[in-house]
Amino acid sequence: MADSKKVIDIIGAVASKIEEKKDELTALDQPIGDSDHGINMARGFCAVQEKLPELEGKDIGTILKTVGMTLISKVGGASGPLYGSAFMKSGTAMAGKQELTSGDFIACLDTSVHAVEQLGHACAGEATMLDAMIPALAAMKQAESSGRSAAEILCAGSAAAEAGAESTKDMIATKGRASYVGERGLGHRDPGASSFALMMETIADALRR
């Protein structure tokens, strides 16, 4: 599906997409959070992008771990530790690998879901990034079991992530800053679920090309 160079290219594309959409992500955060999700994510991925040239020739595990450590150090709020932990755990799972298969990507996402569940003490249905991550994982597993191509598997995951992020409009948040507004949060998409959906869309687009 992707060698280490392609993984670096995809991470660069994700960083560019987050920068492009930072105002939209921040706007999502204004009614229910600290009004800084897009700003924080863009700052973190800008730092990631600066490190990418140093990662050429490194194995995929090292690349993902470096992304995770950078996000933890640069992204404020809950998003830095959550996304950072997800990337770092994925890096551990991919240690030494030079090629990433669709099965490896599913394994990374599975590991990431567990990392976010444990660190955030959250589960599906609580209007968090997990409400995009868990449907994406399920859709990708189903697509893989049906013998779909790598690009089709990623597209299925992307579509499910977007649908999951949209579904958070109908949830009352019980975790994080959004939980403070209670039912007033209804009708608003979760910013973390939305940023994850953006990442999945960017990865799927990169593989289609």
User: For 40-75, what is each residue's pLDDT tens digit?
Assistant: 999 999 999 999 999 999 999 999 999 999 999 998
Segment 74-109, tens digit of pLDDT = 987 788 999 999 999 999 999 999 999 999 999 999
pLDDT attached to residue 183 = 59
Strand bridging mode 99-100 / 2-3? antiparallel
Token pair recorded at residue 15: 């960083």
Cβ-Cβ contacts under 8 Å for 118 (sequence gap 6 or more) = none
pLDDT attached to residue 174 = 67
Domains of the chain with CATH codes: 2-208 (1.25.40.340)
pLDDT attached to residue 101 = 95
pLDDT beyond 90 at 129 = yes
Of 60, 65, 71, 44, nearest in space to 10 by CA: 60
Rounded (10°) angle between helices 150-167 and 102-120: 30
Q: Decide: 108 and 142 in contact? Cβ < 8 Å.
A: no
pLDDT attached to residue 180 = 47
pLDDT bin (cut points 50, 70, 90) of residue 177 is low
The CA distances from residue 141 to 31, 158, 173, 196, 207, in Å, are 34, 13, 27, 18, 17
Q: How far apart are CA 54 and CA 184, in angstroms?
A: 45
Match 């444990």 to its residue by tokens: 118
